[in-house]
Structure 1
Amino acid sequence: MTKREETSIFVEQYGRQLPAVYTDFRSEYSAATTAAGIYDSSYIGRLKAIGEDGLDLLNRMSTNKVIDLDIGEGAVTVLTTDRGRIVDVLSVVNQGDYRLLLTSPGQQQPVIDWLDKYTILEDLVIEDISTDTSMLSVIGPNAAELVGLSPHQFSQDSLTIQSVTMNGIDTLAIGQPLGSLSRYWLIVRPDNFVGLWQHLKNEGPLRSVPTQ
């Protein structure tokens, strides 16, 4: 059974049909706050910034210090205009040979256009990989165990990324806490999404939770 077949209510958001509820809100809230919940977060934009000057340009054009991010580290930063207006809030992760940027839903092109405007001599190319990848999220006290990671591997005040294999599926796991709750963004190829979803459900105990 796919996640669509087990979901009764869908809503239109960000140009996608997204689940509003799987079972009932009470059990889904309980899962996310006492065990672990999973949800489809593919609506979040994913950009690949390639080139040696990626972190330097982002450091100059956003509010947080990202220039010193080591491989596997990340941070949240606000991309602003020259007048201080917000373009988008980005999650920036240094993946070594490229930088992964998570954008707000539908903000991929505005972010690309704004960074391209100031890419003159810099070594930087930005690709939108949102349709080339899928992403789901695991949230809750048991999220780390479900993903197969030790909680101490992810800082509570920054982003970190590492490669994991779950049920034979190569996955990028980004740790980004949501308040006091552990949360992991899991990025896979689209053809592996359903397999990873089913694997996480079978590992339980957890419930699928909506995206709202």
Structure 2
Amino acid sequence: MNYSNPELQLLQSIYKATEEGDSYASVSQRQLASSAGLSIGLTNILLKRFIERGWVKFLHIDGKKIKYALTPSGMEEIAMRAVEYFARAERNTELYRKKIDIFIEGIVRERYKALLLIGLSELDFLFDYACLRYKIGFYKNIKVFMREKDEQDSNWDGLVVVCADNFEDSEEMKGQVGIDIKQHMGIPKEIPLIRFSQILMNIAVKNTSS
């Protein structure tokens, strides 16, 4: 799941790259793309758009080398977009908090005792807080869960796994063709795994072993 705002990211990258005492940023498009987390192609398209809108100006140095700078209207655009972005993020956070709370309450009713979170680090504090409220274990590292399981000589019973929808596209799963997440993590097949999008749709987990 992607919460990014490419235009805002690139504008902020240009701003951060501006040298102290110089209104122009001496960076290549490749460097800007890397800083903003965007492809070079998208960065090129956005830079042209910014120049057309008067948010960015450029200066040719030594023939091919180009320096970029934000105009006053570009700075205003950053400020406006940042406020809008964080307002949306705050609204989303409240929605996610409520959905996660409903989900955790549901698995507690089903007598699950712990939750393992995979690939949702930006939301781990919401899951951690809800698990704390409902007094069930919370893990965001399977190695920690496995170590505690071995130390307590317990089994996998009572665990629910919550996974990011796009985890298969992550670096951790790169090259793992034909291997699902449970296989990759060494999680038994019978352990329930639910995607974050399913939590947003209020899909419940039923404990058939309780």
Please confirm whether the aligned pair reaches a TM-score higher than 0.5, indicating the same fold. no
Q: Which has the higher contact order (CA 8 A, sep 6+)?
A: 1
What is the TM-score normalised by the length of structure 1?
Answer: 0.22
Q: Who wins on radius of gyration, i.e. which is larger?
A: 2
Higher strand share: 1
Higher helix share: 2
